[in-house]
Amino acid sequence: MVTGEKMKNNKGFTIIEILVVLVILGILGSLIVPKLLDKPDEARITKTKLDIRAIESALKIYKLENSIYPTTEQGLEALITQTGIEPVPVNFKKGGYLDGGVPKDPWGGTYIYRSPGENDRDYEIISYGADRKEGGEGVNADIKSFEITQ
């Protein structure tokens, strides 16, 4: 019979098979998507740490040439242009110490610079993280130069 042959050659999917595939895709999506969404935040945190390391390198060269770190009042701008604020650097490097100026952190905030820092540190460089407020957890946590491990 012709009808029996038609049924044997029917190669479509049943609704159950389609639902099983959708459930599997949903489960995979719920496991993978959160991991992908965390990657931009991880990248921003890594970029912040790299910026802080670059600023620290510039500060060390500044100190080698001028025997002091810029003060809190002079700020990180003292790495770009020679300041007139005391103590005025005596051997300021032509072109400054940071290429491209003082960077903003990846969330658009400014890096906090203090010299001297707390607990007898020569300086501190801090990013307040995504919320741009002191404190916080996760992506909102402060990133501090003295807490970054090598």
Per DSSP, the three-state class of 61 is helix
pTM (2 d.p.): 0.74
Q: What's the whole-number mean pLDDT along residues 116-137?
A: 94
| Mean pLDDT over the full length of the chain | 87
pLDDT of residue 124: 97
| Residue 140, pLDDT above cutoff 60 | yes
Q: Evaluate whether residue 116 is within a structural domain.
A: yes
Q: Evaluate whether residue 23 is within a structural domain.
A: no
Structural domain tally of the chain? 1
Q: What pLDDT, in 10s, does the model give residues 21-31?
A: 888 887 777 76
Q: Evaluate whether residue 66 is within a structural domain.
A: yes
The CATH number of residue 81's host domain is 3.30.700.10
Q: Evaluate whether residue 18 is within a structural domain.
A: no
- 95 in the Ramachandran plot: left (φ > 0), alpha (ψ -120 to 50) or beta? left
Q: What's the whole-number mean pLDDT along residues 123-136?
A: 94
DSSP-derived secondary structure for 72-123: TTT-GGGGTS---SSSPPSSPPTT-SSTTSSPBPTTSPBPEEESS-GGG-S-
Q: Evaluate whether residue 36 is within a structural domain.
A: no
- Structural domain including 56 reads 41-147
| Residue 1, pLDDT above cutoff 60 | no
